[in-house]
Amino acid sequence: MTPEQYVQQKAAASGSSFYYAFLFLPPPRRAAITAFYAFCREVDDVVDEVHDPHVAGQKLAWWTREVHQSFAGQPTHPVMQALMPHVAPFDIRAEHLLAVIEGCQMDLTQTRYLDFAGLTRYCHLVAGVVGEVASSIFGRTAEDTLRYAHTLGLAMQLTNIIRDVGEDARRGRIYLPISELQRFDVKAHELLKCERPWGYSDRFQALMKFQAERAHWFYDEALSALPDIDRADQRPGLMMANIYRSLLREIEKGGFQVLHQRISLTPLRKLWIAGRTHWRSR
């Protein structure tokens, strides 16, 4: 299997909304974003699939060394071998990849966030930076497009957090800020138990409605920041925004039933949203 086949398989197997946006890109940009996405998946999988934090930390340390070694001209992992030909044409820097690793390292050492400011730092590393790199791969000429991409990354990460409240709780993690749990009188142990139906209290509903409203605000901020000159090239990001926002609205419509299940859109619906966005943006 070639490095290019490896990253293609990694991206396709994830079933992520990102993959559907990649399909509409020209081959060089599609190859670059697929390799970059595969890198993000490899690093994220370390945290999600390795249950021993010490072992996971060692694996992330290996990825840190691999990034430095790759930018020194000696990539060994197929993901880095597939990615390195694209770093110069699309301004992908070692600091971008190291930021993603740093964000994943936070998952090994931090399971709570005191306030939204602390959570924002985490979202910047695992989503905002990813958005910035993606915008460069898609095609970026205006400086404001960087702000759009970073803000959109935050919006999508907040959507992930809303979707995964129950799943994260089963792993002992709560990303909803403690200050906001206190504001809505939702106890951490209620989330950790993930019980149904009493877990879906009015307090929980109010908390989640607040989270959703903030995510929508970030979507609106991102879209308002995108300059017209880059709108056509940034269509893949707009596809992802529409897919993720549709998911958020689906969660809202269902009454935030996220403690006992993982709500998702069907592959066909994702593809339909991506295609509709592509043709409407032409």
- 88 and 146 both lie in a single domain: no
Total tally of structural domains belonging to the chain: 2
- 206 and 257 both lie in a single domain: yes
- 128 and 77 both lie in a single domain: no
| Whether residue 115 has pLDDT greater than 60 | yes
- 129 and 80 both lie in a single domain: no
Distant-in-sequence, close-in-space partners of 226: CB < 8 Å, separation ≥ 6: 144, 145, 148, 234, 238
- 131 and 234 both lie in a single domain: yes
- 213 and 92 both lie in a single domain: no
Query: Which pLDDT tens digit goes with each residue over 225-236?
Result: 999 999 999 999
* Residue 247, domain extent: 112-281
* CATH code where residue 56 lies: 1.10.600.10
- 267 and 144 both lie in a single domain: yes
Given 78, 109, 140, which residue is the final one in a domain?
109
Res. 193 pLDDT band, cuts 50 70 90: confident
CA–CA gap between residue 15 and residue 157 (Å, rounded): 17
Residue 88 token pair: 């110069």
pLDDT at 276: 84
Given 57, 78, 109, which residue is the final one in a domain?
109
- 92 and 38 both lie in a single domain: yes
- 137 and 235 both lie in a single domain: yes
113 backbone φψ class: left, alpha, beta (φ>0; ψ -120 to 50) = beta
pLDDT at 17: 67
Query: Which pLDDT tens digit goes with each residue over 4-51?
Result: 999 988 887 766 667 777 777 899 999 999 999 999 999 999 988 888
pLDDT at 24: 78
| Whether residue 77 has pLDDT greater than 80 | yes
- 139 and 261 both lie in a single domain: yes
Find the angle CA(97)-CA(82)-CA(80) to the nearest 5 degrees.
Answer: 40
- 159 and 253 both lie in a single domain: yes
CA–CA gap between residue 21 and residue 84 (Å, rounded): 22
- 135 and 260 both lie in a single domain: yes
